[in-house]
Amino acid sequence: MYKTIIDTIFAPRKQAAAQHSKKSHRFFLTLLSSCAVLVLTMGILVSCDDGAVDETVSFSQEGRTVKLTASVTGLETWPTSLYVALAAFDQESNYAITSRRITSGDGSLSLVLTGISDEATSVELCVLNNLRQRVATFAKIEGQQLQTETDTIPFNAGDISLSMLSAIQTAVFNTTCIGCHGENGSAAAGLFLTEGRSHESLVGKTSRRVAEKMLVQPYNGEESVLYEVLTTDLSKGWHYDHTGEILDQNRRQLILEWINNGAQDN
């Protein structure tokens, strides 16, 4: 009888305690699951935010494979905002479909890029920014060179300089400037921007047009006439207006970074 009375009194409390225990267990499992999701999300965000975390960025492991071989110099000159890579592109965008950062130093280079999709129309030894956007190209294979039945497509770039100045020479001076500045043996304002002469003509040289300013003042891009000519209307009243010559912001930034990092000749 006493047992029945006791059970009657305490049964509701036991049931409440059991229900509370179940709720606490469910809450703990939910909390544990949320923590796991948060840690995973943070890991993904960190990986996406820091371009230096993963040397290879690819959306697919299927596709073609290219093997680059070269003898390189100039890799030590690059700042953290830009880097040299082997990358695949399609015709529609300057953003790499897949890429692999080159982290080794000067000397013999052998690098394999996999996961090159059928959309890719070129594979390039190039400069990328931290958004994987193409800034300049040193060498590339394209078209029929990528249409092969071999397991690995060879890409031999030979002896090549991968310095900041070489990138500027290839992407800016050779494509835009040398027509007036040295290609035919004469140069406007005596300024030769041809390969092998551009550094000597620019760095530490006083401008003929702008009093008391250097064409390129190492470590001071904003005060260098070369950068001002290409990014402002400084030359509007000159014989030739250079204002619209280089509109690509990445190439302007390349020139600025080169000067601010000492305008090295290598």
pLDDT 10s digits, 72-104: 999 988 999 999 999 999 999 999 999 999 987
pLDDT for 105 equals 84
In a shared domain, residues 106 and 157: yes
- Provide the 3-class DSSP secondary structure of residue 93: coil
Asked if residue 266 is part of any domain, the answer here is no
Residue finishing a domain among 33, 49, 65: 49
Looking at per-residue pLDDT, the higher value among 202 and 236 belongs to: 202
CA 128 to chain centre: 3
In a shared domain, residues 137 and 172: no
- State what percent of residues in the chain have pLDDT above 70: 77
From the list 221, 202, 250, the residue with the least C-alpha distance to 83 is 250
Asked if residue 265 is part of any domain, the answer here is no
For the chain, the residue count is: 266
pLDDT for 199 equals 97
pLDDT for 70 equals 97
Domain count, the chain: 3
pLDDT for 23 equals 47
Distance CA 126, CA 160 (A): 12
Question: What CATH number corresponds to the domain at position 97?
Answer: 2.60.40
In a shared domain, residues 186 and 214: yes
Phi, psi of 89 (to 5 degrees): -135, 155
pLDDT digits (tens, 9 = 90+) for 160-177: 999 999 999 999 999 999
The parent domain of residue 123 ranges over 56-161
In a shared domain, residues 144 and 203: no
Q: What band does 32 get if pLDDT is binned at 50, 70 and 90?
A: very low
**DSSP classification of residue 171:** I
From the list 120, 123, 127, the residue with the least C-alpha distance to 153 is 123
